[in-house]
Structure 1
Amino acid sequence: MPESPRFVVLVPVKTLALAKSRLTGLPDERRQDLAAAFAQDTIAAVLDTTLVERVMVLTDDFRFADKLASAGCTVIPDGASDDLNASLRQAAAEAHRRWPRLRPVALAADLPALKAVDLSQALAEVPSGPAYVADHAGSGTTLYTASYAEFAPSFGNDSAAEHARAGATSIDGDLPTLRLDVDDVGDLGRALSLGVGIHTAAVTGRV
């Protein structure tokens, strides 16, 4: 019986001053606090996922980087801050250099309700080829994975369809906390209903 793959999860985190611009109606400071909380709660769930051996964060926000490194992440600069997919490919190459036996996974940083059980279920169902998890709207992507040789993420508009067209397999199942990326205030309300991590709970007054 083949051994289950182990994973290195790549999490791109925008400079907080630029993050979550679609959370309209909120003051800039609160928007930045929410973006930081989303990333911290996402990463906490990843670190709690058994099949994940390493977490690599891509960010140019050096002050926030120290906090993420203290949490147990490897932090590297965002290699191409204007091109998410290029940054992820560069990060995958660096992860391959450091941990060649681990399979790379690109994961959105705005999953404040993420639970390790949903991520574990998705990773347990990963096929040998490329695979992705569509977001709750069905058009975006929250997770993409492939071997290093095949790693070619296509995040952006209609990314779920782009990944499918490229031959990636959709990982099915409810996976509610893995699918719920927070782009706007409505999404935040849905995440709060599911139950968010401690950092987002603190910022939103849910503790």
Structure 2
Amino acid sequence: MQWSIVIPVKGSIGKSRLDAGDARAALAVAFARDAISAARAAASVDLVVVVTGDPDVTDCLEGVQTVADPGGGLHAAIMAGIATLDPAAPAAVVLGDLPALTPHNLDATLALAVGERRSFVPDSLMTGTTMLAATRADALRPHFGPGSAELHREAGHVALPVPQGTGLRLDVDELADLHRAIDAGVGPHTRAVLASASLSA
């Protein structure tokens, strides 16, 4: 089964809670570029749609479809991406703040998602959501934001058994999250920013 992936990205204006000084904006872009690169390289993914208003996010990244962020927040961006997909094709929404995501990790999780009409991956705290999937794009019921894990359960999405510490569960909002992602192994874009900012990689 081949999947379409929607990745909403704020870009350099995002990650306001990340206490990384002058490196914050560059890290926000790097997180997204690593997540996008992992999705593009996944064998089970045939389309990556990036919804963003920041051209730096997709600069030099080939093989992605870009949709302009319509404004109005995360939900509006996600729906704009979903609207471009074949409604009958398998689809997933993956957040853009996953610097430790790997193609293998995503492929393994999507293989689990094949067995559920609607599914999701909770974040490391089990309260948020890092990925939402459905075997048909028109079956997606996105409710990202505070308490999204429970909201997605209530909407009929089944939590997938993705192990703690896996890159797909390590979204980064604060510095402690970044250290956990670094321990798991971040992608090259994030490593480059960390090195230039003299932060630990």
TM-score normalised per structure 1:
0.87
Gaps of 5+ in 2: none
Q: Deviations over 1:136-168 (max 9, x none)?
A: 111010000122221221100010010001111
Structure 2 distance, partners of 1:21, 1:149, is 32
Q: Deviations over 1:103-123 (max 9, x none)?
A: 221001011011111111110
Retained in 2: the 8 A contact 1:89–1:152? no
Retained in 2: the 8 A contact 1:23–1:31? yes
Amino acid of the residue matched to residue 118 of structure 2? P
Retained in 1: the 8 A contact 2:123–2:129? yes
Aligned partner of 1:11 in structure 2 is: 7
Structure 2 distance, partners of 1:190, 1:23, is 13
Moved >2 Å (runs of 4+): none
Q: Deviations over 1:28-64 (max 9, x none)?
A: x410110111011111111111000010000111x32
Gaps of 5+ in 1: none
Amino acid of the residue matched to residue 161 of structure 2? D
Amino acid of the residue matched to residue 180 of structure 1? L
Retained in 2: the 8 A contact 1:142–1:181? yes
Aligned partner of 1:41 in structure 2 is: 34
Structure 2 distance, partners of 1:102, 1:71, is 22
Structure 2 distance, partners of 1:132, 1:143, is 5
Structure 1 distance, partners of 2:80, 2:95, is 16
Give the alignment of 1:126-165 within 5 angstroms. 126=113, 127-146=115-134, 147-165=136-154
Amino acid of the residue matched to residue 47 of structure 1? R
TM-score normalised per structure 2:
0.90
Aligned partner of 2:107 in structure 1 is: 120
Retained in 1: the 8 A contact 2:116–2:158? no
Residues 35 and 15 (structure 1), Cα distance of their counterparts in 2 relative to 1, 3 Å cut: closer
- 1:197 aligned residue (156, 178, 187): 187
Tell me if 1:83 matches 2:70: no
Aligned partner of 1:179 in structure 2 is: 169
Give RMSD over aligned pairs. Answer: 1.7
Work out the number of aligned pairs and report it: 194
Structure 2 distance, partners of 1:144, 1:204, is 29
Aligned partner of 1:20 in structure 2 is: 15
Residues 65 and 135 (structure 1), Cα distance of their counterparts in 2 relative to 1, 3 Å cut: closer
Structure 1 distance, partners of 2:73, 2:99, is 23
Amino acid of the residue matched to residue 140 of structure 1? G
Amino acid of the residue matched to residue 124 of structure 1? A
In the TM superposition, what is the alpha-carbon distance from 1:93 to its structure 2 partner? 1.6
- 171-180 vs 48-57, greater mean Cα deviation: 171-180
Secondary structure (helix, strand or coil) at the match of 2:66 reads strand
